[in-house]
Structure 1
Amino acid sequence: MTPQQPVRLPSLPSTANLWRTGQLHESGLNSRAIKALVRHGKLVRLRHGCYIRAELWEKQTGPVRSRQLIRAHAHATLTTSAGGYVYSHTSAARLHSLYLWDVDDLVHLLLPGNPSSERLGKDVRGHTRPWTAAEVVTLSGLRATSLERTVVDCAMMLGYRQALVLTDHALRLGADKALMGCMAEGLQGRRGIRTLRLALAHADPRSESAGETLTRELLTRLKLPLPEPQVQVATRAGKYRLDFAWKEKKVALEFDGKTKYFDYKPTAEALFQERQREKALTENGWTFVRMTWADLFREHEFKSRILAALQR
């Protein structure tokens, strides 16, 4: 039996990592060669007419991949900072590097007209609500809605908790709450306006992650005593900043879900220092309640843990 010969694949261009189909053709790769490169894991098709080097794609984190899909749309459609498209809603949020929770990767655009969905593509949603020049900024060469307009558009499209996560972070990045309130006044009667108003009313720029925002929302919804966020406490091991604290009860609530959702992994040294600080706080009479993402969806158990800690 003759041993199977290894497949000889054509080479990808040595320059760039993101290509339109036409660019690959110009480099000598026909449609059959492109399909072979995709099939053997050397090339990844991001959307119709746009491919990325697989080696690069595999190294990218989730948030970076989501932004890469927007770049792929811009590259495939030859969108530039002077073009007619304005990236909006969750696409603009990603270009602003805002926290998003439980949101799909559809590309959202503001358009002067209302083209058919077939023309835009299955992965694109077009929106036609008018915009002003002041509501458009350029981010890494792409036109996108401003921070404030992005929050308003997203909050009117998403659920309340999703909107609160994004609004918290936008305020932390410097978004103008008064300006967003003025925008909301001009949108009375629109679908989603109630969600926008609730998010603006309850947003808190002290929240440092989506998990902290959702924890605060859950505490409020369960009618539990509300702690103070980002509390600094002095110990013999130095100052320790707690995610949440009921200072009079000496109860700390810490959210430990950063790794899964924000591609953050604490170093061994950081973990050691955290254990030392926690030990010092415990010696001073503090009680710790630690939360993960799973705990956010075990509401009865979460409430019982908090009440038990406060009663101690």
Structure 2
Amino acid sequence: MNRRDLISEVAAQQDGIVTRRQALEAGFTRHEIDNFVMFGRWRRLARATYLVDPSLAAGAERLSRIRAAVLSCGPHAHAVLATAAELHGIGGLRRAEAIHVALPGRAARPTRVKDPAVVLHQFEHPDDALTWIGDIPTTTALRTVAALILRERRYPAISLLDSALNRQLVSEDELLSVPALLRGRRGAVAARGYLAEANGLAQSPLETRARLRCVDGKIPPDALQIEIRDDDGYLLGIGDLGWRAARVVAEADGRGPHATPQALFDDRRRQNRFVNAGWTVLRFTWSDTLRPDYIPAVVRGAIAARAVRRS
């Protein structure tokens, strides 16, 4: 196999990315690599890491940047914290440009990385704390959420836990081992409280935030993912949050899942079915969760109105 075929094979396994070391091992000289970069045939993504085939990275530019950052830090590097959560698909955190990479011991020297987006951490992880997403080494989902809930405030921390549970990346039994991982670390007391509030029925961070606003407002829902049925028992749909005695249901309308025209039509038809079955339907967006008093007040008002109509 000639060197061009060899480097193409390596790039095909890494979304079009190769390291300088891999190029040298394939038979390219340092002068050739520098020329490829200078004339735009290869694009430097991180220290000694290049995109040699953009077609392989199409639609996955962020993943390519993460892969390049990890590869550029050497064989012991792995993604951690928010970047690990991003790779696992765990929701709850704001999307950020920073790429969090860990190296053991003194290998994590700030001078190793010149990319300002790469945040290098000095973390020691045992082998059973690591896994692979594609071919990118990263902390396991359990270790990822355990590390993040020490650093995040209550709402994003519980959103992370809910997302990991809902996507079955961690189990409730596995969460029982988290307090031992947190013992003696700053933030451990608060993090143990977040574990107690986690609920894997929440299907989005917005649902988690809406639920927590109601809990904090002293009007918690008594059901999540509540089944709404007609008098004959026919399933009309699933509500996000429910107050069964008052027949009030709340929907968390996220920008992504509910923004398409078809989703809007489906939501309206479902809401009509709920209303015709005797339920009051409330709808909340992300901006509604930014006001501590708004969602509890609306829910409390809807429950009060239902009580007046029944009296």
Please give the residue correspondences for 1:97-176 in structure 2 after superposition, counting only pairs within 5 Å.
Answer: 97-114=89-106, 115-121=108-114, 122-172=116-166, 173-176=168-171
Instruction: Give the C-alpha shift of residue 203 in structure 1.
Output: 0.4
Please give the residue correspondences for 1:1-312 in structure 2 after superposition, counting only pairs within 5 Å.
Answer: 18-19=16-17, 26=33, 29-31=36-38, 33-34=39-40, 47=46, 60=59, 66-77=62-73, 83-114=75-106, 115-121=108-114, 122-172=116-166, 173-235=168-230, 238-259=235-256, 264=257, 267-312=260-305
- Residue 284 of structure 2 aligns with an amino acid whose one-letter code is M
Instruction: Give the C-alpha shift of residue 109 in structure 1.
Output: 2.8
Instruction: Give the C-alpha shift of residue 68 in structure 1.
Output: 3.6
Q: Determine helix, strand or coil for the equivalent of 2:93.
A: coil
Instruction: Give the C-alpha shift of residue 129 in structure 1.
Output: 4.1
**CA shift digits 1:257-303 (9 cap, x unpaired):** 141xxxx4665444333322211211122111111111111233333
Query: How has the CA–CA distance of structure 1 residues 258 and 49 changed in structure 2, closer, same or farther, with 3 Å as cutoff?
Result: farther
What residue ranges of structure 1 are gaps of 5+ in the alignment? 1-12, 38-42
CA contact (8 A) 2:46 2:68 kept: yes
Q: Distance in 1 between matches of 2:290 and 2:265?
A: 29
- Residue 157 of structure 1 aligns with an amino acid whose one-letter code is R
**CA shift digits 1:46-101 (9 cap, x unpaired):** 545556688998x74xxx65434312313545x5xxx3122221222112111132
Instruction: Give the C-alpha shift of residue 304 in structure 1.
Output: 2.2
- Residue 204 of structure 1 aligns with an amino acid whose one-letter code is N
- Residue 225 of structure 1 aligns with an amino acid whose one-letter code is P
Q: Distance in 1 between matches of 2:61 and 2:189?
A: 32
Instruction: Give the C-alpha shift of residue 174 in structure 1.
Output: 4.2
Q: Which moved more, 1:230-239 or 1:97-106?
A: 230-239
CA contact (8 A) 1:20 1:76 kept: no
How many residue pairs were aligned? 279
Q: Determine helix, strand or coil for the equivalent of 1:224.
A: coil
Identity %: 24
Q: Determine helix, strand or coil for the equivalent of 2:301.
A: helix
Instruction: Give the C-alpha shift of residue 170 in structure 1.
Output: 1.3
Instruction: Give the C-alpha shift of residue 175 in structure 1.
Output: 1.0
For normalisation by structure 1, the TM-score amounts to 0.76
For normalisation by structure 2, the TM-score amounts to 0.76
Q: Distance in 2 between matches of 1:74 and 1:123?
A: 12
Root mean square deviation of aligned Cα: 3.3
CA contact (8 A) 1:163 1:195 kept: no
Q: Distance in 2 between matches of 1:74 and 1:188?
A: 29
- Residue 307 of structure 1 aligns with an amino acid whose one-letter code is R
What residue ranges of structure 2 are gaps of 5+ in the alignment? 1-7, 24-30, 306-311
- Residue 218 of structure 2 aligns with an amino acid whose one-letter code is K
Q: Distance in 2 between matches of 1:195 and 1:124?
A: 28
**CA shift digits 1:216-243 (9 cap, x unpaired):** 1111122223341100112488530001
Q: Determine helix, strand or coil for the equivalent of 1:126.
A: strand
